[in-house]
């Protein structure tokens, strides 16, 4: 018989790739399920004939998930069967994600959705997913509609790198683009039944977090992100931002020589800080870091000093642009990186959004609050993970179990990568509605 044609893969919320979901009460039970599936597909009546999507749908419909879980992801029959064979033989293989969900997560853990600030962008970061996921593409179009009163360029054209569109190294371009990426990725997670147990955002990522938490309408969130990114162009060229991997007390001790010109912009973990301030002072500070053998790098595409006294020049503008915003009670717990703790979202007024840009980002404190409140799974909703190192240091210092995972990665932003992210969450106990893959 002939093999199924490519259209078998054009299904569900993400097309072009199929997930086969398996589980068992024990590791042996999981291997046995893989072996039975392999035998059925290689020598039984379904050999060479069973459509890939039908196999996946039948696996999802088979029943409740056991603690020992695996997801095999493939673009064709050979890739999928190779993955199942590796699972049956208990050996690692590409596109096979395995894990054991904690017993306490039987009802389905709700992860924390983490929204980073600037610096996650890369050329072509959305192209493959725009083509593979109608849900993601629709969300991007909704963001473009909400942003359109404030922009003179096309969001999708910028994402696709259409000639003549503005570059991503402009703050008034990259911030609306990244906001749209984060919001659209969150919607795609939700399409697969993954609802956040909490939301937290870093710097401009708080705008996306507030929208996903239900505190800001898409129109209000789009207004803030677009107009404030345009306001930031007024302080471009005066400052820089530098991330430093070193214990916070050591970095602060070095900063004492630049008091008034440099300041701590963000605390991302016990040994990950971002410094912000004047260009000339930053050059001298960088030399001091180099002499002290401290790892550091410039925040990509940033030529201004957010979270520093430079922002005070924009205070009235920032208050005016957010004056019409009406925050609402959110349906998802919102953890503020302005206060470092859970916050009533009705307090996200114009003054809050000024403080969000002016004050030090207390991401470290917010993550500690989340862990203290029992959250154990964190999903970074972005084009690539940039906050994982800091979060890992925090949970290790606290001695608490936690699973930290990315959505997309640099140069890996298609449907297969997203399904792999879903699989990583699933094997860590997150409830996933896999039927969305076969809708």
Residues 320 and 403 in one domain: yes
State the pLDDT confidence band at 102, using cuts at 50, 70 and 90: confident
The enclosing domain of 170 has a CATH number of 3.40.366.10
Q: What is the pLDDT of residues 62-97, one digit of tens each?
A: 877 889 999 999 999 999 999 999 999 999 998 999
Residue 389 belongs to a domain: yes
Q: Is 186 helix (H, G, I), strand (E, B) or coil?
A: helix
Residues 134 and 222 in one domain: yes
The enclosing domain of 79 has a CATH number of 3.30.70.3290
Q: Of 68, 100, 132, which residue sits at a domain end?
A: 100
Predicted local distance difference test score (pLDDT) of residue 48: 57
| Spatial separation of the C-alpha atoms in residues 132 and 74, rounded to whole Å | 14
Element (H, E) at 277: strand 272-278
Q: What percent of the chain has pLDDT over 90?
A: 89
Residues 339 and 230 in one domain: yes
Residue 224 is encoded by which pair of tokens? 């803030």
Q: Of 100, 128, 162, which residue sits at a domain end?
A: 100
Residues 139 and 165 in one domain: yes
Residues 58 and 197 in one domain: no
Residues 150 and 36 in one domain: no
Residues 364 and 313 in one domain: yes
DSSP character at residue 111: P
Q: What is the pLDDT of residues 228-257, one digit of tens each?
A: 999 999 999 999 999 999 999 999 999 999
**Range 290-294 average pLDDT:** 94
Residues 90 and 131 in one domain: no
Work out whether strand 403-406 and strand 377-380 pair parallel, antiparallel, or are unpaired: parallel
Residue 51 belongs to a domain: yes
Residue 396 belongs to a domain: yes
Residues 55 and 176 in one domain: no
Residues 393 and 329 in one domain: yes
Residues 29 and 159 in one domain: no
| Spatial separation of the C-alpha atoms in residues 388 and 126, rounded to whole Å | 21
Q: Of 46, 66, 100, which residue sits at a domain end?
A: 100
283 CB-near residues (< 8 Å, 6+ apart): none
Domain that holds residue 332: 112-235+308-408
DSSP string computed for 374-404: T--EEEE-SSS-SSHHHHHHHHHHHT---EE
Counting the structural domains of the chain, the total is: 2
Residues 132 and 216 in one domain: yes
Residue 245 belongs to a domain: no
Q: What is the pLDDT of residues 113-158, one digit of tens each?
A: 999 999 999 999 999 999 999 999 999 999 999 999 999 999 999 9
Residue 40 belongs to a domain: yes
Residue 278 belongs to a domain: no
Element (H, E) at 283: helix 279-291
Question: Do 29 and 68 form a contact (C-beta atoms < 8 A)?
Answer: yes
Residue 26 belongs to a domain: yes
Residue 148 belongs to a domain: yes
């Amino acid at each position: 018989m002939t093999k199924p044609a490519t259209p078998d893969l054009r299904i569900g919320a993400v097309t072009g790739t199929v997930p086969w979901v398996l589980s068992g009460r024990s590791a042996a039970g999981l291997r046995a399920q893989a072996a039975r599936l392999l035998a059925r597909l290689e020598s039984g009546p379904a050999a060479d004939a069973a459509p890939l999507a039908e196999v996946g749908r039948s696996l999802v419909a088979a029943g409740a998930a056991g603690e020992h879980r695996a997801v095999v992801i493939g673009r064709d029959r050979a890739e999928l069967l190779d993955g199942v064979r590796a699972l049956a033989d208990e050996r690692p293989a590409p596109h096979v994600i395995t894990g054991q969900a904690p017993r306490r997560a039987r009802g389905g853990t709700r992860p924390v959705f983490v929204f980073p600030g600037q610096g996650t962008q890369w050329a072509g970061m959305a192209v493959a997913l725009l083509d593979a996921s109608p849900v993601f593409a629709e969300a991007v179009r909704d963001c473009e509609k909400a942003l359109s009163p404030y922009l003179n360029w096309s969001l999708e054209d910028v994402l696709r790198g259409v000639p003549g569109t503005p570059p991503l190294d402009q703050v008034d371009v990259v911030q609306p683009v990244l906001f749209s990426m984060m919001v659209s990725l969150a919607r795609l997670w939700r399409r697969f039944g993954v609802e956040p147990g909490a939301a937290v955002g870093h710097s401009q990522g708080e705008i996306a977090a507030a929208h996903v938490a239900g505190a800001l309408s898409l129109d209000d969130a789009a207004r803030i992100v677009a107009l404030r990114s345009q306001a930031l162009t007024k302080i471009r060229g005066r400052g820089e931002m530098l991330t430093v991997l070193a214990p916070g007390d050591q970095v602060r001790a070095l900063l004492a020589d630049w008091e008034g010109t440099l300041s701590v912009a963000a605390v991302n973990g016990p040994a990950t800080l971002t410094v912000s301030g004047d260009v000339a002072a930053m050059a001298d500070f960088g030399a001091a870091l180099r002499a002290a053998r401290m790892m550091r790098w410039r925040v990509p595409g940033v030529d201004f000093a957010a979270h520093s006294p430079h922002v005070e020049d924009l205070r009235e503008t920032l208050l005016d642009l957010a004056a019409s915003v009406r925050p609402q009670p959110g349906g998802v717990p919102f953890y503020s990186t302005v206060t470092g703790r859970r916050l009533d979202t009705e307090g996200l007024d114009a003054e809050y959004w000024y403080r969000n840009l002016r004050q030090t980002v207390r991401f470290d404190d917010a993550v500690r609050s989340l862990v203290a409140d029992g959250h154990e799974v964190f999903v970074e909703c972005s084009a690539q993970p940039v906050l994982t190192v800091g979060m890992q240091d925090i949970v290790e210092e606290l001695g608490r179990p936690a699973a930290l995972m990315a959505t997309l990665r640099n140069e890996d932003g298609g449907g297969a990568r997203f399904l792999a992210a879903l699989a990583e969450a699933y094997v860590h106990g997150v409830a996933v509605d896999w039927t969305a893959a076969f809708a």
